[in-house]
Chain A
Amino acid sequence: MLQVDIDSRDGATVVAPRGRLTMVSARSFRETVTDKIARTGGSVVVVDLSATEFIDSSGLGALVACLKTARQSGGDLRLAAPTEQVTMVLGLTNLDRVLRPRATVDEALRD
């Protein structure tokens, strides 16, 4: 199962999906994050992937949907600290050509 922690840091929002971000949890993850973006509007969202054990293509789809929402509201979405499996899947679909994770959350916040 997936647990999503959200907290605010330096005017940005840090979202940490813990567990498996898959077709089962992708929808609620997407809805949680887009709700948050709608409420904060125009800020930067960092997705902290350090506790994401497993992601599938539906999970990636949710990340892309969140990116779209973030951009629409004038903000940005960045990935940080992916686990090995997440890095692999990002590479497999070439999604890392669009969204390249930063090594740490701090680095993602700094840019």
Chain B
Amino acid sequence: MVVETTIRRDEKRREARRRETSIVRRLALVRIVALVAVLAGLNYIVWRWLASVNWESWWIAVPLVLAETYSFIDSLLFAIGAWRLRERHDAPTMRRQATVDVLVTTYNEPLDLVMDTARAAKAIRYPHETWILDDGDRPELRALAEAEGIGVVTRSEAWRDRPRHAKAGNLNNALMVTEGEFLLILDADQIPSPDILDRTLGWFEDEKVALVQTPQWFVNVPPSDPLGSQAPLFYGPIQQSKDGWNAAFFCGSNAILRREALMQLGVSRYVGEVTLAVNRGVRSSRRVLARARRDFGSDPRVAAALDAVSTALDDLRTGIARGDALADLTYSFQQRIQAVRRELSDQDIADVRAELAALAEITGDPASLAAIDETTLDALGDRHLSPLAAVESVSMLVDSFDVGREEEAQAVMPLATISVTEDMATSMRLHGLGWRSVYHDEVLAKGLAPEDLPTMLTQRLRWAQGTMQVMFRENPLLQKSLGWGQRIMYFGTMWSYLAGFAAVVYVAAPILNLSFGVMPVQAFSLDFFARFIPFFLVNQLLFIVVANGRPTWRGAQYSLALFPVWIRAVTSAFDNVYRGRSLAFSVTPKTRSLENRPRWDLVRPQLFVMAALVASLVIVAIRFIAGQADGIAPFVNIAWVLYDLAVFSIIIRAVLYSASDHEPKGF
């Protein structure tokens, strides 16, 4: 017996050593290729800017060189990530018993689907408690779940008439009523493997690890994956690259989080938000006061009241500057305003009741902390404020920025609510607090991917919009609490979503050349090929080496072919963040299940592009015959058009693809 185990242990050790060697070898190869790729890229892009732009056709030449610079930076970011590619294998052994809550999030998914996941969650071997977080608050689901001993959490009363913050809100609500040390988060369709916790909890032996993310993998997808649902490169080398820089990020499901880290994040965010809000409240109040003084300063009784408010505000400001505790400052400020209010006679109250109602309409429901700002105040200014209303509005402004965060259901919101994709923002903030993350590259849950084009498009748009919201609201490059590697890794993901703009140029340039002979570069000379071909080839090679046998073509196709989605994501997120417009989620008409008709209308821009690409081939043939086209340029551009067509061809397949006969299978 003893001999046997020794042999097995030896084998294990040898196996581990073999793995170690292969990891080291692979990383060495990746680094060499990455370095060469970056040098070849520099060699090309510098030459492009300095010596090859055809300024006569600057209107296409400049966009093209910009698009190419975009792609160069993209490959640079990829190479920087790959430099630290981190392949982890088994987690260390967990040496103590931990408490775990498994949380299955749902809103409106079919009951049997949710229950399948919940049952699988309950069957996870490691001791844990299972909860369904039902944001739809469905009594039938509660009955089903409770019959099987599975807990159900729904929103508490505090959320009524307050911003719900979708899934982030759902999880924040559940954090307040569960108490496990760790939280495994699962989307309603992600069937977990029974050993998911045994395989991953060990990473938390490192006390600074806050997050372990595992891949999302889909069962209802054929090997050809026409909708590009699997993300083998992302859930693999890309997350491993980020992991190497301690920037592997949270993807919303199939991840384990440390409660202490989340709560610490929630509490420190709370402090930040309150500080911001009180300062904003003070600023706004001063403006209201100034206005009231202008309008009523002549009435001595009012002037006295306004002076009192003004002094209270000054004291509040001094207190903030001195670093006094905000709870105390705001409390005593409120008390003083109360006193001022009492001194003004009751007769005013009737006069202003109507105004206050209007005021409450404006200030009562701030969708976010930023809601009461200059715009609101300008709206206030348009009204004729009576003296008491002026005092009252100061108090209301400060009220709504109070330390109680009256406008939110919970004062502490651990999961970020600044984006429709709460996951990435949350992990970025956790990294900012100094926590670590782990990417565990083993499929431990199997889910369902969108089954048709409309659903897929909606999902991609949402992800892209969420990522762009984070970029505009909390640009990683500006986060001082992150290391440079982390900033670059987070930014890299955002950068990749800007591909839509480059894609437009990449189809327009060859079409223009073939159709009208427009030259965006000075010449397709030997110089061009000598610089472009190494750049192109070495980058492809880097891709292949990093992908290590995983398919990459589908991802490459969609990063260009979904250009209208990416562009819309950027513009709508921009409007949302800077102009306060709603993201206007595209409501996907769920007609497919009824009619099963291909939705060509959803990909009109792509069809138009494909038609233009084909037309340019026809036109260049005519121009050849007419003797208008010669030299090497048309051939380069024909090759380019053929590449574009190969890329866009996936759109046709996607439209024609419909509900699969691939029955979902769990573990």
Contacts and interface: CB of A to CB of B under 8 A. Distances in A.
Interface of A: 23-24, 26-27, 30, 56-58, 60-61, 64-65, 67-72, 76-78, 92-100, 111
Interface stretch (B305-313, B398-406, B453-461): B398-406
Give the interface SS of chain A, mostly helix, strand, loop or mixed.
helix
Closest 5 pairs (CB-CB, A-B): A100-B325, A57-B263, A71-B404, A57-B264, A68-B404
B179 A26 contact: yes
Contacts of B404: 67-72
B412 A97 contact: no
A67 B411 contact: yes
Given A26-B179, A97-B271, A99-B327, A65 B410 contact: yes
30 contacts: A23-B180, A23-B181, A23-B263, A26-B179, A27-B177, A30-B176, A57-B260, A57-B267, A58-B263, A60-B267, A61-B267, A64-B270, A65-B412, A71-B331, A71-B402, A71-B403, A76-B327, A78-B327, A93-B264, A93-B267, A94-B271, A95-B267, A96-B325, A97-B325, A97-B326, A98-B270, A98-B326, A99-B327, A100-B324, A100-B325
B359 interface: no
A68 B410 CA distance: 8
Interface residues of B, number: 33
B107 to A, nearest CB: 24
Contacts of A111: 328
Contacts of A61: 176, 263, 266-267, 412
A98 B271 contact: yes
B522 interface: no
B325 A98 contact: yes
A93 B275 CA distance: 13
Contacts of A76: 327, 331
Interface in B234-290: 259-260, 262-264, 266-268, 270-272, 274-275
B300 interface: no
Given A94-B268, A95-B271, A67 B327 contact: yes
B176 A64 contact: no
Interface string B326-370: 111001000000000000000000000000000000000000000
A99 B325 contact: yes
Contacts of A97: 271, 275, 323, 325-326
Given A23-B180, A68-B405, 14 more contacts: A24-B179, A27-B179, A30-B176, A57-B263, A57-B267, A67-B403, A68-B411, A71-B402, A71-B403, A71-B406, A72-B404, A95-B270, A95-B271, A97-B275
Interface string B179-203: 1110000000000000000000000
Contacts of A27: 176-177, 179
Contacts of B176: 27, 30, 61, 65
Contacts of A99: 325, 327
